Structure 1
Amino acid sequence: MSSETIAYRSSSHEIPQQNPDHPMYAEAVEAMKAYHQAQANGVTGAELERLHMLAEHRFHATTDYQLRAPAIGMDS
C-alpha cells in the first residue's frame, strides 16, 4: 500500500490530488511503457503477459483510487 493511499485514511482525511504527475499514475504509465518496450523487443509468452498484467493492474488500482478518494474525503 502506498503512502498516498494511507494519506486519505488518516484522521485529517487529507486526499492527495490526482494528476499525471501523481506517483500512482506515473507508476502505471511506466509499467505500460515497459510492456510496450518488451513487445517492441520481441518478448513473448509468460514474461510479456506478466508485464501486461502488471500495467493493467496499476491502471485499475489508480482508477479505483480516484473513484473512491472523493467519497472518503466527504465522510469527515
Structure 2
Amino acid sequence: MPRRVMQGTIVSDKGDKTVVVQVERTYLHPLLKKTVRRSAKFHAHDEANAFKTGEKVEIQECPPKSKLKRWEVVGRVGA
C-alpha cells in the first residue's frame, strides 16, 4: 500500500527530533456549495532537527516511532 504524502507548515519545533506540521485542506460543502477550509496537526519525525517553525514541508506516513509520531518529514517544499 502506498504511503500518504501531505504538505503543510511547521507550527512547532520545540520537541527533540519532532516537529508539528499543520496541514490545511479545502473542500466544497455538500449542502451549502461553499468552499470550506479544515486543518489538522500531525507530529512528524525530524531526525536532524533541521526544520524550523514557519517552513513549508512535505511529510509522509511511516511506521509508529512514538505515541504520537506516525509521520516523517521528507523535505522542504519550494525554494
- TM-score, normalising length from structure 2? 0.22
Q: Which has the higher strand share?
A: 2
Which structure's relative contact order is higher, taking Cα pairs within 8 Å and 6+ residues apart? 1
Larger radius of gyration: 1
- TM-score, normalising length from structure 1? 0.23
Q: Which has the higher helix share?
A: 1
